[in-house]
Structure 1
Amino acid sequence: MEKSLAVTPWKYGLLATCILIVTCNVFFFSCGVVTWGSAVSIYGSYGAAICGVAVFGVAFLGMYVALKVSYKYSIYYLICSGLVIAALGSYLFIFTAMREELMGRFEERMRSLFEQKTHSDDQMQPVHSLFGCCGLNGPQDYLKEEHGALPSSCCYAFDCSKPTHIYEEGCSTKAAGNLRMQAELNYYSCMAIIALEFMGLFTAYYLGKARKYAKTKIKDEETPINE
């Protein structure tokens, strides 16, 4: 009985779980904000950011509970983790339903930026530099235009003097593929965090129970026996 209620295994189990949650949340937070932001969805970006901050907060609370072995704060952690699981579940449902729409919005945005570009204001250039691509379908999109020339952003280190430095892949495929990969990371990291949160609930519950048992045992041992 005493071994099953030992504090140490649950303490380090909760600590390890919280560290894994923080690690997964780095991918969830960054990829979520980029995915929603690239599709020009402000509310989605804020939603991903708020969920990410909440996960960080609860994970650090779990670390505090593990290090302090606090029964009272383990109750707070259980409540906060339950709320975070509910929030992440809602986020995952919405993201799954809208993921393909977000990809479509991004591709449409790429086409819009390319069509609106001028010689003095080419808003595709930051996209070229960020994703290592050129035009929509490749460098020919620029070269086939009248007096067409490649912008320096279409080349590695902004040096177009060497043919090997030119980005051959178009942004409609490379940038969209990169964003789709980030969307996948956001999706699977969210699922991993939810699973780890349940594990955190399990370890925190038994840590609190073991801590309460230890306190009760000490009190019983210190209580004088009336003869």
Structure 2
Amino acid sequence: MEKSFSITPWKYGLLATCILIVTCNVFFFSCGVVTWGSAVSRSGSYSAALCGVSVFGVAFLGMYVSLKESHKYSVYYLICGGLVISALGAYLFVFTAMRTELMGRFEERMRRLFAEKTHHDDKMQPVHSLFGCCGMDGPQDYLRTEHGALPSSCCYAFDCSNPSHVYEEGCSTKAITNLRMQADLNYYSCLAIISLEFMGLFTAYYMGKARKHAKTKVKDEETPMND
């Protein structure tokens, strides 16, 4: 009972922390890839994806450590957790420095795509579908230039036969606002993960210490006394 009591609080603390990390990482991973990808930064997208995969891996390692109650694997978790914190810290620094530039790149990219669109090849369609907007300033951009024809991507479920399905807001406002929100989610979820990783290291350290102490105590109790 003493062994279970000494380990259990740290065990379930680590397990709960890892579950919270996985939850935050869903937002970090998805919003990070969308933010960097929208600004046409492959290296940024790959960095966000790599950090996200690493966080998932270390979180699942932490869950395994907590369920197995292993001192040896808790050491592995401490090492991997420290590396992930360093990687996330570097990512956060770069992302904070480039955040304004990414928004500018995205707006410039949208204007270029809109200028290059043709009746048969509308390069704005992925932007319409992803952010639920139409044209740069609204559907009037197409109604004015395309003689009343709207691309299907300007409508919910690609159905423009119903006027209520048409996206009324232009991408110059809605898409940029949406991307800023995703950038904010990426930033704050990264901060949350770093904080939770420190908490995970704390609980893993004391769980491993409690486990080692319990094993040592059992060995001492089994060792015969010499008179």
TM-score range, shorter chain: over 0.9
Tell me which residue corresponds to 2:152. 152
Aligned-residue sequence identity (percent) comes to 83
Q: Secondary structure at the match of 2:173?
A: helix
Tell me which residue corresponds to 2:58. 58
List alignment gaps of at least 5 residues for structure 2. Answer: none
Q: Secondary structure at the match of 1:172?
A: coil
Q: What amino acid is aligned across from residue 171 of structure 2 in structure 1? A: C
Aligned residues: 226
Counterpart-to-counterpart distance in 2, 1:54 and 1:152: 38
TM-score, with length taken from structure 2: 0.95
Tell me which residue corresponds to 1:103. 103
Counterpart-to-counterpart distance in 1, 2:165 and 2:214: 67
Q: Report 1:1-227 matches (<5 A).
A: 6-145=6-145, 147-227=147-227
List alignment gaps of at least 5 residues for structure 1. Answer: none
Deviation at residue 184 of structure 1 after TM alignment: 0.7
Q: What amino acid is aligned across from residue 44 of structure 2 in structure 1? A: G
Counterpart-to-counterpart distance in 2, 1:222 and 1:30: 53
Counterpart-to-counterpart distance in 1, 2:78 and 2:126: 44
CA RMSD between the two structures:
1.6
Q: What amino acid is aligned across from residue 170 of structure 2 in structure 1? A: G
Deviation at residue 157 of structure 1 after TM alignment: 3.0
Q: What amino acid is aligned across from residue 72 of structure 2 in structure 1? A: K
Deviation at residue 146 of structure 1 after TM alignment: 6.2
Counterpart-to-counterpart distance in 2, 1:17 and 1:131: 33
Counterpart-to-counterpart distance in 2, 1:7 and 1:146: 69
After TM superposition, where is structure 1 displaced by more than 3 Å over at least 4 residues in a row? Answer: none
